[in-house]
Structures are given as C-alpha cells and as structure tokens.
Amino acid sequence: MKRIICLTALILLSGRLSAQTEPDLMAPPENKFQDAFYDALLQKGIENYDKAIVYLYKCKDLQPENPVVYSEFGKNYLGLKKYTEAYDSFEKAAQLDPKNSWYWVGMYDACYEAKDYKRAIPIVQKLIPFKKDYQEDLVSLYMNAGQFDLALDLINELDAKVGRTEQRDIYRRDILSQAKYQGSEAGHLLELIAKYPKEESNYVALIFLYSDSNQDDKAQQIAQKLEKEIPSSDWAQVSLFKFQINSNDAKSAVASMNKILKSSKIDNKIKHRVLNEFLVFAKDKPELDADLSQSISYFESDKKVQPAKEIGKFFHAKKAWARAAKFYELQLKNQPDDLDTALLLLEIYISTAQFDVVASKASALTEFYPSQPQLYYDAGLAYNQLKNYKKAMEFLEVGLDYVLDDVTLEMNFNIQLGEAAAGLGDAKKKEKYFSKADQLIKQQKK
C-alpha cells in the first residue's frame, strides 16, 4: 500500500509513469528518477536519513531544478539535526517555487530548531500572507529575539483585531516589567479606555501595569473608573480590595473579597493571593474569623489547596491556639482522613493542657493509623498527665516499637515511659527508661 501511495505521488512529480518494466540500464530518465525518489522516501520513512540523502543526490543529478527534491533534502537534514544544510535546502526549493508555502515552513522549522529566531522572523513574515495564524508565531519570535518594541506593537494590533489571549497577556506583562515600556503602554491603554469605555480588559491591563510599577494611586483611580463604567465588573474589586486593606476598611474589604472569591472570571491564583492578604490583615482581628471561615467555602471544589489547614498553620505559628484549632477542626470536618492536620490539632490540645481531649482523640486515631508512633506518644503523654499510668504504659510500649531513625521521638518516649513507671511504683523500669533517655540526649549533643 505504501508503494502505491508513493508512486501515486510521483505521478504528480513526473507527469506519468511508464506502463512497461525494463532493465535498469534501459530505463528512461523519468523512471530512474521515480525509483530513486521512491527509495529516498522509503529510507526517510524508517529514519535512515543518510541513505535517503544518497538517493536524493541521484534525483538531483536527474532533475537539478526540481524543488521537491530540495525539500526532501531539507526534511532529511532536519532529521539529522543538520540545521544549516536543512535551511539551505529549503531555501533552494523556495527559490525554485516561491509560491509553495511549505518550503518557507521548512526554512522556519530549521531556524526554530537551531534557535536562530532573528533569521526566522523575515521567513514568518512571508508566511503570514499564506496563513494569518503565523502572526502569533511572529509575536513569539520577537520575544525570543528580544525585539520587544515590535512584539508590543503586534500584541496590541492582534488584541484589537482578534481579541486577547492568555499567552499574549503573559508576553505583555513580561515586556511591561521593564520601565522603558510602561509609559507608552499606559498611554495606549488610556486611549483605548477613552475610545471603548465598556471594554473591561483595558482597565484590567492598566490596573496591573500601575500596580506592578508601584503606582498604587493611579491603579486605584482606574479601578474606581472601571467600577463606575462597569458596575458589575469583578476585576474592579481586585484592585479596590487592596486599597480597602491598606486603609483598614474591613467591612468593604470583606465585601470585595467575597465578590472576588465567587467570581468565575477571576483565576484561582489571584483568589489565593486575595485570601492570603486578608489572612495577614485579619491576624490581630478575631472578629474577622467568621469571614475567614466563609472564604474557605469558595475553595471546596479546588482539591489542590487546603485553605483551612493553611490558615490554621498561620495562627499556629503565632501561638494563637484557639484560632488555629478552629481552622484545623474545619479542615478535618472536610477531610477526616488528614492525619497531618490531626497531629497538628493534638499538638495544640497538648499546648493548652487539654489532656482528656488528647487521650480520647489520640487513642481513637491509633485504631485507624496503627503504625504512627506520634499518636501513641501523644496518648501516653496525655494519660500520664491524667495519672492513668497503666494506660500510658500500654500505649507507650506499643508505640516505641514503631519509632525508626528519630532520636528525639525515641528520647521523648523513654522519658514518658519513665514517668509512667514511676507512677506505677516500678523503680527498676523507671531507672531503665530514664537512663536510656539520658543516653539519647547525650547522643544528640555529639
């Protein structure tokens, strides 16, 4: 079947195929060309590029002005990663048949693989009349070649003609991170806002531009203008939220945050940033805990983040035990099998001397996680504090067997075992465990 397909293609190349089969020495030139060309295609198909090129030289000798031959040279040189030879071959094909866009595409491929972006630019410019989509390639080439003025002009042109894209927005922000481009782009966006006052994207772009360049007052003015022109805009709230936080306007900040978090237009990265900013703002304001708890509900469908747990850790680090525990409990309500959070919560109960709670919860958790030594330790410590030394000894002896390569935890186990033995009046075991703990303390100091 492959031979039939290739020979059919060769009909187009040579115009006809001979109906007769003759010895190779007697074959007319067109048959010799067809056979050599077919062999070249066959070798290229099995990635035998060197052999394919040998056959193509035979084709070139027979038809030195055939652009298809040079195009095939280019494809095989690309396969060999010989990008200069590939480019030269495609260029020769394009000289012979400049209206065939595939030869220009071959030149582009050779330049791109060689990372010669500047050389690729004029080639892609020639491809655009064949296919407008190559304008997007041209933007990327301008960026890779460091020709940011041309890239920004083309980005603005394409935004106006076909609408914005995420990739172009990324390029724009990369360019505008350089101060030299910010002034002209700000002027351009202001012109667009004046011309199209109901086009939200121009306000958003200008807000980001001003914010990234620390021109917060100007960003606020644009956000307020956006809210006035498009009252339903969610993006206006993103910028306004920041100013409400800075001005300590908690009520307005909460309202803006809730609009942002429930918006389907605003991506999750920005939502996470907003929540983090509000968390820092609320750290000394317990009265905002209810609003923090409400904010977590907006992330229930996002399995990649655990805001309740992260908020709990935030307050945990500040030793705000009650507030940390509240958010850990909320996390466990949503994910009961989160062992890490359960251990953090036990740590808080221990820090606040809620030993009856620790004993109950840690004991129950050992049923679900029977090889987790920290749970046995927490249960044993709690029972010691409750003076239930027998129960403490049971948990600690079992848990110690699961301790591996953790000198600190092993030391703590022996201390608690010594306490339990002392409580039970077993002086021999008490001395044994305290002596072992002392050895481990000395080992840590080495």
Q: What is the CA 71 to chain-centroid distance, rounded?
A: 39
Q: Where are the alpha helices (DSSP H) in 80-195?
A: 83-96, 101-113, 117-127, 134-144, 148-162, 166-176, 179-195
Q: What is the pLDDT of residues 63-90, one digit of tens each?
A: 999 999 999 999 999 999 999 999 999 9
Q: What is the distance between the alpha carbons of residues 446 and 444, in angstroms, rounded to a whole number? A: 6
Instruction: Report the length, in residues, of the chain.
Output: 446
Longest dimension (CA), the chain: 112
Q: What is the mean predicted confidence (pLDDT) over 44-71?
A: 93
Quote the pLDDT of residue 342. Answer: 96
**Higher pLDDT residue, 162 or 369?**
369
Report the alpha-carbon distance of residue 420 to residue 394 in Å, rounded.
Answer: 10
- Tokens representing residue 6 in the block: 């290739």
Q: With a threshold of 0.85, does the pTM exceed it?
A: no
The set of residues, in sequence order, having a beta carbon less than 8 Å from that of 181 and lying 6+ positions away, is 148, 149, 152, 175
pLDDT digits (tens, 9 = 90+) for 348-368: 999 999 999 999 999 999 999
Q: Report CA Rg, the chain.
A: 36
Q: Are 100 and 68 in contact (CB under 8 A)?
A: no
> What pLDDT digit, counting tens, does each position of 308-345 carry?
999 999 999 999 999 999 999 999 998 899 999 999 99
Q: Predicted confidence band at 209 (pLDDT cuts at 50, 70, 90)? A: confident
What is the residue type of 260?
A: I
Sign of the dihedral through C-alpha 172, 173, 176, 182: positive
* Rounded Cα distance, 44 and 77, in Å: 10
Of 81, 88, 24, 4, nearest to 50 by C-alpha is 81
Full DSSP string of 229-269: H-TT-SHHHHHHHHHHHHTT-HHHHHHHHHHHHT-SSS-HH
Highest mean pLDDT among 187-191, 238-242, 354-358: 354-358
Has residue 104 got a pLDDT over 90? Answer: yes
